[in-house]
Amino acid sequence: MKIGPKFKIAKRLGAPIFEKTQTQKFALSEARRGKTLKRRPGAMSDYKRQLIEKQKMRFTYGVSEKQLRKYVNEAVRKSAQPISYLVARLESRLDNVVYRAGMAKTRQMARQMVSHGHVTVNGRKSTIPSQQMKVGDKFTVRDGSRNTSLFENFTENHQAAGVPAWIKFDSKAIAGEITALPTYEPSETLFDPEQILEYYSR
């Protein structure tokens, strides 16, 4: 999915939704912008607020409008707790799992890594970034990719503290396993799923 200029998109949405915008420089830029931007309180319509939250989720996970609508419809149809279901589905995508495990610095890099066949799931090469991972699924770097520059000094540079509790990851083996379903933590997200569900329920 072609995204475009990340800083401009993040500023428009008012949130550091891309990894490259999660910096002090971006935070300072937003703080200065907040002082100079004049907007009447309450001027934003419900529709615009919902649209912005929807775009935040889309760009965070790098999914298309069609894909997100499919995830939302499935969450509403299949679960009594659609918000938790929706977030779990997005978090369980293979490209996101690779990113969350610390195998790639960004979700975009993780998506390319999977698309180029560098990752195996349960012993088989996968080239589908949207592949849904389930509890018990194991993933690792394909043997033929271990000596590439992508994984040079991986163990020394890996940041274990960033790996979520639902992923068990061995940085030395560059291998992991899904041990539980991802959970929705409002404090850890940059978007409001409730607003997104309301957007698609119109």
Question: Which of these, 116, 56, 68, 124, lies nearest to 93 by C-alpha position?
Answer: 68
Give dist(CA 30, CA 10) in Å, integer: 10
Question: Residue 176's beta-bridge partner residues?
Answer: 139, 169
Paired tokens of 104: 């790639």
Q: Which of 11-15, 90-94, 129-133, 186-190 bottoms out in mean pLDDT, i.e. has the lowest?
A: 11-15
| Helix orientation angle between 46-61 and 65-78, rounded to the nearest 10 degrees | 100
Confidence of residue 188 (pLDDT cuts 50, 70, 90): confident
**pLDDT for residue 26 is more than 70:** no
CATH number of 93-178: 3.10.290.10
Q: What is the rounded average pLDDT of the residues 94-121?
A: 96
Domain ranges, ordered by start, for the chain = 6-33+48-89+187-200, 93-178
Paired tokens of 173: 């083996």
How confident is the model at residue 190, as a pLDDT? Answer: 86
Give dist(CA 129, CA 47) in Å, integer: 31
